[in-house]
Structure 1
Amino acid sequence: MDDPALVVQHVYSEPLVAALPERHPLAAQRRISTRTLAREPYIAFPRRMNPGYIDRVIRFFQREGCPLKIVHEGDSLLM
């Protein structure tokens, strides 16, 4: 936020995790770069559940110069 009338305090950071099959080549890595992760198919949770979150994730990857490859949006959080 860029409003001089407001003081913004960062309160919480939510980690972005990758859920991968046990035998996936990236599963053994402790950290995965943004660029590497963006090359993988991305299954998003339902947009209606939290549209702001998925928008932030998409913008983050775009700013990093590596847009997500969204292949599916789940019908529920239980996908």
Structure 2
Amino acid sequence: MAIAIPFFQQLTGMNVIIFYALVLFRTIGFGSNASLMASMITGGFNALATFVSIFTVDKVGRRKLFLEGGA
């Protein structure tokens, strides 16, 4: 698990999207202000999803979620 979790995180590409969000949004045609706002919205949804996942792990249990995610 110590190797698999970071591997799948890198494999999904979410780190690239978050790190280069501003550049990605400019590349697809957003202006400067719009790309900054879209980047902030993406980060906000990421933070919201983190809190939802924290409460889900507390409710369901870590082991069950790891087994489902691994499958």
Q: Which has the higher strand share?
A: 1
Structure showing greater relative contact order (alpha-carbon pairs closer than 8 Å, 6 or more residues apart): 1
Structure 1 or 2: larger helix share?
Answer: 2
State if a TM-score over 0.5 links the two structures: no
TM-score normalised by L of structure 1:
0.28
What is the TM-score normalised by the length of structure 2? 0.30
